[in-house]
Amino acid sequence: MPARGALVATLALERKIDRIRRRIRLLLAVRWSVRFALGGTLASLLALVIFRLADAPFPGRHAALLFAGTTAAGALFGFCRRVTPFQAALATDARLGLKECLSSALALRHDGEQTPLVAALLADATRRSAAIDVRAVYPLRLPREARFLAGALLVLALALYLPTLPRFQSARERAERAAMRAEGERIVRVAKELRQTLDARHADLNRRLAHNLEQLGKGMQAARIGKKEALVRLHKLTREVTAAQRQQALAGGTRSLSRAGEALKQAARAAEAKASSPEAGQRLRQMGEALRRGDTEQAARLLQELANRAVSGKLSAQERQQMAQEARQIAQALADTSLAEAARPLQEAAKQLQQGQLAAAARQFEQAGGTCQSGGASRSASQMRQVEQALQQARRQLAEAGQEKAPESGQTLARGEGDGADGRSIGSMMGEPTAGQASPDAGRGTTNQQQSGGPMGGSAPEERQAAERPRGQAPFERLYAPERVATNRIDTQVRGKQGSGRSDLTPVRGAPKRGDAYQPYYEVYSSYRRAAEEALSKEEVPATCRKQVRDYFQSLQP
Amino acid sequence: MAVAEVEARVARFQEQFAAIRAEIGKVIVGQEAIVEGVLIAVLAGGHVLLEGVPGLGKTLLVRTLARTLDLKFSRIQFTPDLMPADITGTHIVTETAGGARQFVFQPGPIFANVVLADEINRATPKTQSALLEAMQEQSVTVAREVRRLEEPFFVLATQNPIEQEGTYPLPEAQVDRFFFKLLVGVPSLEELRQILDRTTGTEEAAVQVVADAAALRALRALGRAVPIAAHVQELALKLTLATHPQTEYAPEQVKRFVRYGASPRGAQALVLAAKIRAILDGRYHVAFDDLRQVAAPALRHRILLNFEGEAEGIQPDSLIADILERVAAAAEPPRC
């Protein structure tokens, strides 16, 4: 072959081999992406097993991200693999049964000018390569590993999806899931409302809160997070909302609270100057001091004290006048501050005190105290309050979801007939509606004596427990529930001697008699837990002890 | 030389090969692999050791080949009392016309183109060794005088594997000089029927001369010119090295049962035979498959089993199959 002919043949052959090489790289990218995706899927399956063993919710979105990431990484890895022209030629030889024609030609192409047989080989290889349809020889199809990948994905999907089907869930899980979804929807709704009515002054804060709420709500709706995590995040969000309330309250109003406090201190000095009202002056001073510090909770407590004093009903006319005067002075001081909305109920309370309507005045004081408690009464503060209430409600619902429902008072417990005095219903004592109250028959209700198989009961307590216990419920432990004990006790009041000094009225409840007044464990658990949750959310429990409290209730969970 | 001319030469090669084969086929029934092996070895310039029980047509094959090629043929029947001089020739005293006496070299039967060394293992090693120089150097040294043998020269030896009484196994050096060792098998029923038809009748097959020494030399030259790419050659080298138990390419069976592997002559035989096969297949290059096909005849007599291998009755062919499976599989291109 002439030298030019050999060169042309060589170039044509090299071009073809290069096309084949690119095609092979593409196929390698597909193959490695499938392999990596298989690895990612298997890793997700392993993680799913670990999460299930640890009783933690599996982050399905992370699994999807892992799958996408490994697929992309595999494709990149495959595409970046080195495929030399010689390897491409060798692979094509093997695939087409060319008996190393292309690879030999490629390896010997530079000898074409010297050896006639090599020139013939080059011509032959060029002729054969020209007839190769690269796409037909290397069709773009899924590799064998794709079958394993499909199987692994199917297993993963089933492992993720089957437990979400109600058929495969216990009653408790179904209830928890339903509660999560419902509360998630509620939180998302609250977040949207908060976003729609953004207060320009606190836009950033509220937007951030709304975003966090929405994320949490959506996560709960989609069951991306578990109950424990939801409760923890709800708790954190509640704290954020409370902090935001305070921040907004401190930032609101045209006058600062410290100036209001100063005004109240002056009023206190004036009151103390009068010999007839030293206590009023002291209270005004305390209120002034609280406002000056921006301690709205202390201010709320002081107003609550006024409410308690008003509702005690033991105020003389002069004391009512003094209290009305106090209320007016506080209202005046709070005007044009961030707590301005508390001024109106205080003015109302003053009027009602003058008219002798002590209960109504107490309610007005409580309302004012509530306003102070929430740090103010601006529109955004009101929103924040709603948000906080929604969060607390969600926490309660979630905490109770899936737990055995405590029987309504008087429904599962034995009803006894006692006289109205001795047989007072527990609900009436605790301020809760009970079957006894709802019944038209006055005096019919649940009494602890009757329930516990006391003198009016018939059988032994253990036998009654067994009979009343819901099916499948383990025997409950006897748990001391003093507030539900209706026993004879003597409440005493210690009253200080009336004089020039201050007097404190402290009702002291007598200890109940120890007897058979016990409640089933599963019956009291939810109310105790709710109380604990509230205490935790209000930060009544010291931070160092919160974990123990939470752990304790989790360990008690029936 | 133009590509067209090369193509024509290759075609002519195939035609001549087919013609020789067809002529041999007139006499020899079946045994296609043996005939092809012998022809490949002849075209590659190698010697062949034919091993088989008596009566399978080994001698007839060699004789027929010599007749088709129009070459000088000689047959040496190896016996225990055969001496080296009986093969190489010797000086004898002759009287000239003037009455003077002189030593004159009387060439032995080795001085031919095709030498049939029938039942070669019946001669003593001393006599067998008389072939060593002839087979490798294509020359004979008698009385310190080197005499060249005529080209082409090839030895076709036969031996009987079952009769061990009064036989002398070939020395390793001798065995190594054979290009191929071909195992002649028993014919099938149909082949046997044809053999009977041909040999028990009155007619005798007439064999035509289809090539001469010059044509054979041309065919050999073309065969040697076939290029082999480095990666194909590497497979041949690995196959050869894999017969040695101490190399990294040796499979477990080889390490266990083999004492010595193939010499470089084995690699030469592999490549040369593969080149001839490539041409016969109409290709201008050697392929992996060519090497696989010729590996057994080229290597089986070069593998020396150890005691354990002998005791276990290991056949070199099974070891070669194992080597091919391992080494040739490693040469496969990556899947994509």
- Architecture of the domain whose range is B226-336: Orthogonal Bundle (1.10)
When mean pLDDT is compared over A177-181, A381-385, B320-324, the highest value belongs to: B320-324
pLDDT band at A425 (very low <50, low <70, confident <90, very high): very low
| Nearest chain B residue (CA) to A104 | B229
More confident site: A314 or A27: A27
- The total of other beta-carbon atoms located within 10 Å of residue A208's CB is 13
Pairing of strands A492-495, B258-260: unpaired
Q: What is the pLDDT of residues A167-192, one digit of tens each?
A: 777 777 788 888 888 888 988 988 88
Per-residue confidence (pLDDT) for residue A515, from 0 to 100: 52
More confident site: A72 or B202: A72
Q: What is the pLDDT of residues B131-174, one digit of tens each?
A: 888 888 888 888 888 899 988 899 999 988 876 777 888 888 88
Per-residue confidence (pLDDT) for residue A441, from 0 to 100: 38
Q: Which range is least confidently modeled, B107-116, B194-203, B235-244? A: B194-203
Q: Could you say which of A28, A31, A94 has the minimum Cβ distance to residue B332?
A: A94
**Which of A40, A394, A379, A456 lies closest to A199, judged by CA?**
A379
Name the 3-class secondary structure at B23: helix
Asked whether residue A70 carries a pLDDT value surpassing 90, the answer given is: yes
> What is the pLDDT averaged over residues A297-319?
82
Q: Which two tokens stand for residue B11?
A: 């075609």
- Element (H or E) spanning A508, and its range? strand A505-508
pTM across the whole model: 0.59
Instruction: Give helix then strand counts, H and E, for chain B.
Output: 16, 11
Q: Which range is least confidently modeled, A126-140, A324-338, A529-543? A: A529-543
Cβ of residue B233 closer than 8 Å to a chain A Cβ: no
Contacts of A486 (CB under 8 A, 6+ apart): A423, A424, A426, A429, A447, A448, A449, A517
Residues of A in contact with B288 (CB under 8 A): 99-100
Pairing of strands B89-95, B101-107: antiparallel
CB-based contact B333 A104, cutoff 8 Å:
no
ipTM score: 0.85
Q: Could you state, in order of their start, the residue ranges of all structural domains in chain B?
A: 226-336
pLDDT band at A446 (very low <50, low <70, confident <90, very high): very low
- Mean pLDDT over the full length of chain A: 74
Per-residue confidence (pLDDT) for residue A255, from 0 to 100: 62
| Nearest chain A residue (CA) to B2 | A1
Q: Which range is least confidently modeled, A112-126, A333-347, A436-450, B281-295? A: A436-450
Cβ of residue A7 closer than 8 Å to a chain B Cβ: no
- The total of other beta-carbon atoms located within 10 Å of residue B117's CB is 27
CA dist A23 and A138 (Å) reads 7
Per-residue confidence (pLDDT) for residue B292, from 0 to 100: 93
Q: Could you say which of B3, B232, B333 has the minimum Cβ distance to residue A1?
A: B3
CB-based contact A91 B283, cutoff 8 Å:
no
pLDDT band at B271 (very low <50, low <70, confident <90, very high): very high
CB-based contact A91 B281, cutoff 8 Å:
no
CB-based contact A100 B231, cutoff 8 Å:
yes
Per-residue confidence (pLDDT) for residue B205, from 0 to 100: 77
* DSSP 8-state code for residue A445: E
Residues of B in contact with A115 (CB under 8 A): 225, 227
Identity of the amino acid at A304? Q
pLDDT band at A437 (very low <50, low <70, confident <90, very high): very low
- The total of other beta-carbon atoms located within 10 Å of residue A141's CB is 8
Cβ of residue A426 closer than 8 Å to a chain B Cβ: no
pLDDT band at A250 (very low <50, low <70, confident <90, very high): low
Backbone angles phi, psi at A489, to 5 degrees: -150, 160
Residues of B in contact with A124 (CB under 8 A): 283-284
> What is the pLDDT averaged over residues A446-452?
38
> What is the pLDDT averaged over residues B91-98?
88
Per-residue confidence (pLDDT) for residue A533, from 0 to 100: 81
Per-residue confidence (pLDDT) for residue A374, from 0 to 100: 66
| Nearest chain A residue (CA) to B335 | A91
Tokens 């030896």 correspond to B157
Pairing of strands B139-142, B178-183: unpaired
Quick check: bond before A278 cis, omega within 30? no
Per-residue confidence (pLDDT) for residue A512, from 0 to 100: 55
CB-based contact A116 B336, cutoff 8 Å:
no
Q: How would you label A518-553 residue by residue, b for 16+ Cβ within 10 Å and e otherwise?
A: bbbbbbbbbbebeebbeebbeeebeeeeeeebbeeb
Per-residue confidence (pLDDT) for residue A400, from 0 to 100: 77
> What is the pLDDT averaged over residues A496-503?
61
Residues 274-333 of B with CB under 8 A from A: 281, 283-289, 332-333
DSSP, residue by residue, A126-166: HHHHHT--HHHHS-----THHHHHHHHHHHHHHHHHGGGSG
Per-residue confidence (pLDDT) for residue A403, from 0 to 100: 62
Residue to mutate among B271, B275, B281, B284, with most A CBs inside 10 A, is B284
Cβ of residue A298 closer than 8 Å to a chain B Cβ: no
Name the 3-class secondary structure at B248: coil
DSSP, residue by residue, B89-148: EEEEEEE-TTS-EEEEEEE-TTSSSEEEEETGGGS-HHHHTHHHHHHHHSEEEETTEEEE
CB-based contact A100 B281, cutoff 8 Å:
no
Residues of A in contact with B7 (CB under 8 A): 120
Q: Could you say which of A28, A91, A104 has the minimum Cβ distance to residue B285?
A: A104
CA dist B233 and B150 (Å) reads 31
> What is the pLDDT averaged over residues B233-243?
94
